[in-house]
Amino acid sequence: MHLPEIDKYAHLKSIFHSWEPRAKLVSFLFLIITISLLHNLISACAGLVLAVVLVFLSGIPFRFVFKSLTWLFLFVLLFFVIMPLTVPGRILFKVGFITCSQEGFNIALLIALRAISIGLLVFPMIGTMEFHKTLKALSRLKIPNRLIQMIMFTYRYLFVFIEEYRRMTIATQARLFKRRTNLSTLRITGNLISMLFIRGFERTQCIYDAMVSRGYKGNLEIIDESKLCCKDFLKSSLIIMAALLLNFSKFVF
Amino acid sequence: MREVIKITNLEYVYPDGTHALRGINLNILEGESVGLIGPNGAGKSTLLLHLNGILRQKGRVEIDGLNLEEGNLDKIRNKVGFVFQDPQNQLFMPTVFDDVAFGPINMKLAKERVKEVVYEALKEVDMLYSIKRVSHHLSFGEKKKISIATVLSMSPQILILDEPSANLDPAARRHLIDFLKRLSITKIIAGHDLELILELCERSILLDKGKVVADGNTQIILSDSLLMQEHNLEVPSCLKADFQKKIEERVSL
Ligand SMILES: Nc1ncnc2c1ncn2[C@@H]1O[C@H](COP(=O)(O)OP(=O)(O)O)[C@@H](O)[C@H]1O
Ligand SMILES: [Mg+2]
């Protein structure tokens, strides 16, 4: 199973890696929101180009990015099938009684451009720092503590969970279990999954005990040392300027 | 010598009806190292979980003169450091630093002081080099050492270790033993690693079916082959050899 390590390339060096997490998050969020509100194909194209450039500058390999975005691409492809068929407008071409509209195609294209740009931007945004730094930054940006804890523990124990699942499947295979499409496979898989849940539940109890015995009372404070400096503001203003330019480009085109 | 732990008539029944503790009476003196031995399911872990108030039902537990009750829990948890068996559950924070700082932060130490105690604790277990590492990438032995550091950073008066040497390789185990030997606070060590207990603890308590069946000098208890057999334990081989030697001496006389 593929481990969802978004911060796999956090150890590289780039202008995004050295950027203070809070400034980086806020500026990228601003850019992402701007792109998601673009209504103009040319601006959206420019947005995509910008996103590609930013990924390039981050030094994260495109192969990794594309592999992680496979699902997004498939999802976007769906729109190219649905939209031209359902949105009425100028007819692009006709096959039998099926008509494809130009308007539908344009909408699909717009959605695709925006979605892919945003998908790409996630990498220079949070792929350029270790995930805990993202969490610490979010925490300092006053995101509710409960939410931070939820994300943090989910991320922390996802790996343990996957590891446990892997070990259990190996254990079944060691006892000559082969996956087939029959009822017994279904039953055994069902058992595996329920075991996983029971173990997960027990583990949660143990973790909670460990937390309580070290003084946990529901609130999680984390010490974060990151400091903002001039360079961070400079980088942020560049990104925010780019976002504003994209937004105003609709008056030009 | 002062009594730091005083347990009277402690009973515990799990929600599913398992009668895990049946009337435990114990006193532990300041500075003592006590081994807690017994077969699987004897109730060792259950007993330990009472010492910082994670479990509470019937009977009386006094820690350093404080009765275990709601109002005293914070103070007691600062005094008692609990190292759980599975370091995976003990290390729930994203990085080593965050994990070791978790207790001190909850104790409301000032930020600078927190950093100091984290450094000290990590230095003590020889793991300072890992301070910035992500917990789930460490080896098992390293995780175990960090687990100990997470409670040392709270400077406890009493250290509780549940099966500390489980799954450790011989070198890591030796390291752990040497480290614990140097540590002069009150220690309670539960487990099946009888040779470790023999090396570290003057006194041992044998628990079976929720009752104390023997309490006294470790060497005497562990070399009592009848007693050990009766409770599904085995005399450690080093003691067997001792015994053998004594017999040979007698024969030669
Ligand atoms: N969460 C639980 N729910 C029900 N029974 C439990 C639970 N934890 C332990 N027990 C039972 O309580 C008894 C004592 O367990 P434990 O204290 O873990 O023993 P030890 O640590 O000596 O191996 C065992 O019979 C065990 O099955
Ligand atoms: Mg146990």
| Global pTM value | 0.86
Interface of A with B (CB under 8 A): 130-132, 135, 152-153, 155-157, 159-160, 203, 206-207, 209-217, 221-223
Q: Is residue A5, in this structure, part of any structural domain at all?
A: no
Task: Give domain status of residue A237, yes or no.
Answer: yes
Tally of domains within chain A: 2
Give me Rg for the CA atoms of chain A. 23
Question: Quick one: A26 and A122 in the same domain?
Answer: yes
- B40 CA closest ligand 1 atom index: 23
The per-residue pLDDT for B253 is 64
Instruction: Output the CA B151–ligand 1 centroid distance in Å.
Output: 24
**What pLDDT is stored for residue B213 in this prediction?**
95
- Angstrom distance (rounded) from CA B29 to CA B26: 10
**Residues listed for chain B:** 253
CB count, 10 Å around CB of B128? 15
Residues 6 or more apart from B168 whose CB is under 8 A from it? B140, B141, B144, B176
Is A15 domain-assigned? no
The residue that leads in pLDDT, B94 or A97, is B94
Domain assignment present for A101: yes
Domain that holds residue A83: 21-130+226-252
More confident residue, B113 or A201: B113
CA-closest candidate to residue A51, choices A106, A6, A116:
A116
CB contact under 8 A, B93 and A217: no
Residues A170 and A106 occupy one common structural domain: no
Asked if A49 and A161 touch (Cβ cutoff 8 Å), the reply is no
- pLDDT tens per residue across all 253 residues of chain B: 789 999 999 999 999 999 999 999 999 999 999 999 999 999 999 999 999 999 999 999 999 999 999 899 999 999 999 999 999 999 999 999 999 999 999 999 999 999 999 999 999 999 999 999 988 889 999 999 999 999 999 999 999 999 999 989 999 999 999 999 999 999 999 999 999 999 999 999 999 999 999 999 999 999 999 999 999 999 988 887 766 677 677 777 6
Q: Which of B74, B94, B97 sits opposite A215 (nearest CB)?
A: B74
* Residue B73: per-residue pLDDT: 92
Q: What is the mean pLDDT of chain A?
A: 90
For residues A115 and A60, membership in a common domain is answered with: yes
Q: Quick one: A30 and A122 in the same domain?
A: yes
Return the closest-CA partner of residue B29 out of B3, B6, B7: B3
pLDDT at A1: 43
Residue A73 lies in a domain: yes
Question: How far is B76 from chain A, CA to nearest CA, in Å?
Answer: 9
Residue B10's pLDDT is what? 96
Q: Would you call A209 and B54 a contact, using CB atoms and an 8 Å cutoff?
A: yes
For the CA of B49, the closest atom of ligand 1 is 17
pLDDT 10s digits, A212-222: 999 999 999 99
Instruction: Copy the structure tokens of residue A245.
Output: 């330019």
A85/A159 same-domain check = no
pLDDT band, very low/low/confident/very high, at A172 (cuts 50, 70, 90): confident
- Answer yes or no: is A221 within a domain: no
CB contact under 8 A, A210 and B92: yes
Confidence of residue A135 (pLDDT cuts 50, 70, 90): very high
- Domains defined for chain B, CATH in brackets: 1-64+191-253 (3.40.50.300)
Query: Bridge-partner residues for B36, per DSSP?
Result: B190, B205
Q: What is the per-residue pLDDT for A183?
A: 82
Q: Are residues A40 and A124 in the same domain?
A: yes
Q: Mark whether A156 and A179 lie in a shared domain.
A: yes
| CA angle, residues B195, B198, B200, in degrees to nearest 5 | 110
Cα angle: A167, vertex A190, A184; to 5 degrees: 100
Do A175 and A237 sit in the same domain of this protein? no
Q: State whether residue B149 sits within 8 Å of chain A by CB.
A: no
Lowest mean pLDDT among A20-24, A71-75, A179-183, B216-220: A179-183
Is residue A89 domain-resident? Answer: yes
Cβ separation B106–A217 shorter than 8 A? yes
Same domain, A65 and A116: yes
Interface ipTM: 0.88
Instruction: Check whether residue A61 and residue A178 sit in a common domain.
Output: no
- Percent of residues in chain B assigned helix, strand, coil, to nearest 5: 45, 25, 30
Same domain, A147 and A114: no
Residues A104, A169: one domain?
no
Asked if residue B19 lies in contact with residue B13, where contact means CB atoms within 8 angstroms, the answer is: yes
Q: Does residue A183 sit within a domain?
A: yes
